[in-house]
Amino acid sequence: MTEARAASHAAHDAAREASGSAKESARAAGHAVAVAHMADHELGAAAYAIRAVRAAADPNDRDDVGRAECRWQRAQLSVEIRDLVLDDERLRNRKCWSLFDC
């Protein structure tokens, strides 16, 4: 857990030095690693990944690209956890910039 926490901090430190898609990607990595010590970070990785693809897209396509990423993420969920994750996304969507409206 100590190593995961240190890796999470390193990713967030990298995010502070970056911008655009690189910043959002570093935040996604930081949240993904942070789940090992704080379970409620699990949606942060997904949300920041959506933000990363939106930041990399043409401004006119950002909403469509973000929704496509959201749908792709959901397609990767196993049957065993799908309902749990979708319910969590619904409950915390506003906190996650409403990125799970896909």
* Of residues 39, 29, 38, the one with CA closest to residue 8: 29
CA distance 14 to 8: 10
Of 73 and 37, more confident:
73
Q: What is the pTM of this model?
A: 0.87
Please give the share of the chain, as a percent, with pLDDT higher than 90: 84
Question: pLDDT digit string (tens) for 67-90?
Answer: 999 999 999 999 999 999 999 999
**C-alpha dihedral sign at 66, 69, 57, 55:** positive
Region 12-16: mean pLDDT is 95
Of 51 and 41, more confident:
51
For position 48, what pLDDT does the model report?
Answer: 96
